[in-house]
Structure 1
Amino acid sequence: MRLNIVMLLAVLSLSSCASKDDSRKEGLDIQGTWQLFSATTIENGKSETTDYSGDLKMIKIINGTHFAFLKNSINPKDTSSFDAGGGSFVLDKDDYTEHLDYYKNKDWEGKTFKFKLSINKDTLIQKGIEKVEKAGVDRVIIEKYIKVK
């Protein structure tokens, strides 16, 4: 009986020492590199989908507390499509909140964006609202990513 109590205390002690990333809070495992394959924007009742499987490429890199995204064209003649940004995030179950700390358009910096996430196998779907008054942006976005292996 005493051995069982000692073993139980040992297991409880070890499990309490397990490293837990505060930003995940029992959420989805989103850490890694994700490649965007389609993005839909819905603005003023009009829906537009961009295909990212051709010349235009975008990745999002997520670690335990921060995210960064990079968008570029693989076409060497297209020098206007580069975009990048990043910041911190909090994930609570499927509620994902990004705080954009860095972006080329200063109207977007310091903004917070709330999304719902879902993962099905190697596909991450991010849905939410982008609203930036100074930039005249108020739209729903739906982004679909594939996990980069």
Structure 2
Amino acid sequence: MKNTLLLILPALIAISCAPKDRPEPAPLLGTWKLLTGTTINGRDTSTVDYTQGQEMIKIITPTHFAFMRHDLNGGKDSTAVYVAGGGRVGIKGNIYTE
């Protein structure tokens, strides 16, 4: 009995000290070039095309997001625009909320 305990105890200690598997990062995290954006608010849905005369990128981390949008004319005419913002995100499974 004593010999069995001496064999099992080191094995249990080794197993309990093994590093735990880290969860895989959400594939949504990173920097993205937005082509279109869809906003759903109750029963209303609106879609914006970000490829016509403008460019937009979005950066998503596990806790926050940031976005930057600018016109492609370098701000030289009446379509000049630069918009930026950010905030907190929630990511649970395949549900993303801002």
For normalisation by structure 1, the TM-score amounts to 0.45
* Structure 1: distance between partners of 2:46 and 2:38: 5
User: What letter matches 1:53 in structure 2?
Assistant: T
| Structure 1 unaligned residues grouped into runs of 5+ | 21-25, 99-149
Where do 5+ consecutive residues of structure 2 fail to align? 1-6
Larger radius of gyration: 2
**Structure showing greater relative contact order (alpha-carbon pairs closer than 8 Å, 6 or more residues apart):** 1
Q: Is the 8 A contact 1:27 1:92 kept in 2?
A: no
Give the corresponding residue for 1:30. Answer: 28
Select the structure that is richer in strand.
1
* Cα RMSD, aligned residues only: 3.2
State the aligned residue count. 87
Structure 2 counterpart of 1:10, from 17, 20, 23: 17
Give the percent of matched residue pairs that are identical in Structure 1 and Structure 2: 34
| TM-score under structure 2 length normalisation | 0.64
- Equivalent residues in 2 for 1:1-149, closer than 5 Å: 1-2=7-8, 3-11=10-18, 14-15=19-20, 28-40=26-38, 49-76=47-74, 77=76, 78-79=79-80, 81-98=81-98
Q: Distance in 2 between matches of 1:59 and 1:38?
A: 11
Q: Is contact 1:34–1:60 with CA below 8 Å preserved after alignment? A: yes
